[in-house]
């Protein structure tokens, strides 16, 4: 039996120890994203365990990846979750999948990215036959995994980190920048958990010499998180960029995890949050459980 349940907007499903796991187990990698017209791979994580071609697991992966990604595209959701397989009768064959669009890219660009990533998985060009795999791109992320347990990753929370722009280390402007960035991300986190998209973007200013400089920010969470856990994830990432030596003084940065995303910088970037669906689903759509941790 195959099921498809979408939790793109359903809160309440997320482990409570999110901050601790994020801070302890995040594997952060630096790099540069691609353009909005050609998805740029930022991180690819392939599980060590394999499934056999033609097996029930293979059937579920080949059904689930295109169905979930196309449904997220059609519905205009900022993220979605679904599973396939009867976990009760054969837990080794159940497959879950999570997909997220990054709201600093348009729905059209995200659709291209989701189809591209799903296609690479299905064609064996990325993580061939891996039972668990995740791809982070500049425009989207896709993760599929074995429902019973997530195995073979090493560290569960994998993220992409970018820290660019000016290095304010030792400058008089550093303290003002830290404070205003912290307050901006804090305010955006509050806005995001109150919004139906679970995303928010805005800007503020900090003192730069005798002038002022704008700081732009965007934050978002997976739509199936509870508000509490969305807030916890965003706070963890905001804390990370504040205390991490490589990011605390850089004027442009971004951090991605499985569960949330933050971006900030003194260079203005696009915000497409309003393009994404803001309508809550029927309670009947929220029957499933969250990805196993």
Q: Does domain 18-159 have CATH number 3.30.430.20?
A: yes
pLDDT tens for each residue of 20-60? 333 323 333 333 333 334 578 899 999 999 999 999 999 99
Domain ranges across the chain:
18-159, 160-275
**C-alpha distances in Å from residue 57, one per residue of 14, 83, 144, 167, 275:** 25, 12, 11, 48, 34
User: What is the value of pTM for the model shown?
Assistant: 0.79
pLDDT category of residue 242 using cuts at 50, 70 and 90 = confident
pLDDT reading at 281 higher than 50: no
Q: In this predicted structure, what is the pLDDT of residue 208?
A: 78
pLDDT category of residue 9 using cuts at 50, 70 and 90 = very low
How far apart, in whole angstroms, are the C-alpha atoms of residue 187 and residue 199? 12
Q: In this predicted structure, what is the pLDDT of residue 214?
A: 93
pLDDT tens for each residue of 259-276? 899 999 999 999 999 999
Bridge partners, residue 122, by sequence? none
Helix, strand or coil for residue 80? strand
pLDDT reading at 80 higher than 80: yes
Stronger pLDDT, 79 or 161, i.e. the higher one: 79
160-275 shares the fold of 18-159: yes
Cβ distance 97 to 83 under 8 Å? yes
How far apart, in whole angstroms, are the C-alpha atoms of residue 13 and residue 235? 18
160-275: CATH topology: Killer Toxin P4; Chain A (3.30.430)
pLDDT tens for each residue of 167-225? 888 788 888 898 999 999 999 999 999 998 899 999 999 887 778 889 999 999 998 88
Helix, strand or coil for residue 96? strand
CA neighbor of 68 nearest in space, from 88, 87, 84, 44:
84
pLDDT reading at 253 higher than 60: yes
CA neighbor of 249 nearest in space, from 171, 161, 180:
171
Burial annotation 96-118 (CB, 10 A radius, 16+ → b, else e):
bbbbbbbbbbbbebbbbbbbbbb
88, two tokens: 């009760």
Strands 140-146 vs 133-137: parallel, antiparallel or unpaired: antiparallel
How far apart, in whole angstroms, are the C-alpha atoms of residue 90 and residue 80? 24
Strands 158-167 vs 27-30: parallel, antiparallel or unpaired: parallel
How far apart, in whole angstroms, are the C-alpha atoms of residue 217 and residue 271? 9
Q: In this predicted structure, what is the pLDDT of residue 224?
A: 84
Burial of 61 (0-12, 13-18, 19+ CB in 10 A): buried
How far apart, in whole angstroms, are the C-alpha atoms of residue 250 and residue 178? 10
């Amino acid at each position: 039996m195959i099921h498809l349940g979408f939790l793109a907007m359903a809160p309440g499903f997320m482990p409570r120890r999110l901050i601790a796991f994020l801070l302890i187990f995040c594997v952060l990698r630096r790099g540069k994203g691609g353009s909005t017209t050609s998805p740029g791979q930022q991180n690819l994580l392939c599980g060590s365990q394999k499934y056999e071609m033609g097996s029930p697991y293979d059937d579920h992966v080949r059904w689930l990846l295109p169905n979930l990604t196309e449904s997220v595209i059609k519905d205009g959701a900022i993220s979605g979750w679904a599973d396939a397989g009867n976990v009760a009768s054969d837990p080794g064959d159940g497959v879950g999948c999570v997909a997220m669009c990054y709201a600093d890219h348009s729905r059209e660009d995200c659709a291209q990215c989701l189809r591209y990533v799903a296609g690479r998985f299905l064609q064996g060009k990325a993580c061939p036959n891996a039972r668990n795999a995740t791809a982070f791109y500049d425009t989207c992320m896709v993760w599929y995994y074995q429902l019973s347990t997530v195995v073979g990753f090493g560290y569960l929370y994998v993220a992409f980190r970018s820290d660019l722009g000016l290095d304010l280390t030792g400058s008089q402007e550093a303290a003002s920048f830290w404070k205003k960035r912290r307050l901006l991300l804090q305010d955006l986190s509050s806005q995001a958990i109150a919004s139906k998209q679970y995303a928010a973007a805005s800007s503020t200013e900090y003192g730069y010499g005798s002038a002022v400089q704008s700081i732009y920010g965007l934050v978002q969470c997976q739509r199936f998180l509870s508000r509490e856990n969305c807030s916890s994830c965003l706070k963890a990432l905001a804390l990370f960029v504040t205390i991490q030596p490589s990011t605390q003084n850089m004027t442009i940065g971004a951090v991605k995890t499985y569960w949330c995303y933050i971006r900030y910088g003194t260079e203005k970037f696009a915000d497409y949050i309003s393009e994404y669906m803001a309508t809550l689903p029927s309670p009947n759509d929220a029957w499933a459980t969250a990805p196993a941790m």
